[in-house]
Amino acid sequence: MHNPWVIDNVHLVIRLLLSVFLGGLVGFERERKNHAAGLRTHTLVCLGSCLLMILSMYGFADFADEPNVRLDPARLAAQVITGVGFLGAGTILFTGKSITGLTTAASIWVVMAVGLTVGAGFYLPAVLSAVMVLLILWGLNIVEKRYVNHRRECTFTLKADNETVRIESFQSVLNERGAKLVKVRFVDEEDTGQEAKSGIQRIAITVILPHRDLLIAIADDFKQMNGVRSVTAE
């Protein structure tokens, strides 16, 4: 009769290698897009989750037959779920205007679940889940770019000649690109220092872009305007 508390070395190696492979697949997709948590992070999370699941299920087999001992194979898995939550939170950034890293945090959490599933010996659900994660990260990203309108607020900071540049010209550029002007701010003399004395002023223009790809195009339009010395965008 098969002992549920014992695993042979062959299946042990298979589970660890499979967790590395599946975690690496998801991590490679994140790495290609230059996210904070990439190939190594996802692979390590998946491997560590698998190892802890194996340890939780089989690491204390010697105590299974002891009197007054009750083993719970899910005890370490529950702690892994809590611990990986802190790791995922580290990939989420709040920039003041938007929140980034939520998808990467979610992918780390799912990779953890895949690792636990492999460690428990449920190979088919683990493989199918990893494949579905890749389809979601890759396929839905294409759908979002094509059909979802991502409006983004950004700020252009320009250094321009006091007597040459007119705000109406900035407005016309934004209208041509379909961007919405939100706020214009002229930096005070005490903030600009030598720039004010030399006839150069700084202008901060906050706009809402209909598409992120327009950021560089609008910055280039501003740079080509007469009297504009430099343009920065964020």
125 plus 143 within the same structural domain: yes
Instruction: Say what the pLDDT of residue 118 is.
Output: 93
Q: Indicate the pairing of strand 152-161 with strand 93-94.
A: unpaired
The DSSP result for 82-97, as a single string, is HHHHHHHHTT-EE-SS
Distances (CA, A) of 58 to 4, 51, 53, 120: 8, 10, 8, 10
85 plus 111 within the same structural domain: yes
Domain end call among 122, 147, 172: 147
Instruction: Say what the pLDDT of residue 189 is.
Output: 47
Q: What's the CATH code of the domain at 206?
A: 3.30.70.1110
Q: Which H/E stretch holds residue 110?
A: helix 102-119
Instruction: Say what the pLDDT of residue 64 is.
Output: 64
Domain that holds residue 70: 9-147
- Distance between CA 231 and CA 19 in Å, rounded? 48
Give the burial class of 170: count Cβ atoms within 10 A of its Cβ; 0-12 exposed, 13-18 middle, 19 or more buried: buried
- Distance between CA 195 and CA 124 in Å, rounded? 66
Handedness of CA 112, 118, 122, 123 (dihedral sign): positive
97 plus 200 within the same structural domain: no
Instruction: Say what the pLDDT of residue 1 is.
Output: 44
143 plus 156 within the same structural domain: no
Domain end call among 123, 147, 171: 147
In a domain, 1, yes or no: no
34 plus 130 within the same structural domain: yes
142 plus 156 within the same structural domain: no
Q: Compute mean pLDDT per 10 residues along the chain, 234 residues long, and list them.
A: 74 92 90 80 91 85 67 79 80 64 86 92 92 88 68 79 72 83 71 56 82 79 80 78
72 plus 104 within the same structural domain: yes
**pTM of this prediction?**
0.64
Domain end call among 132, 147, 162: 147
Q: How many domains does the chain have?
A: 2
Terminal-to-terminal C-alpha distance of the chain: 66
31 plus 77 within the same structural domain: yes
In a domain, 4, yes or no: no
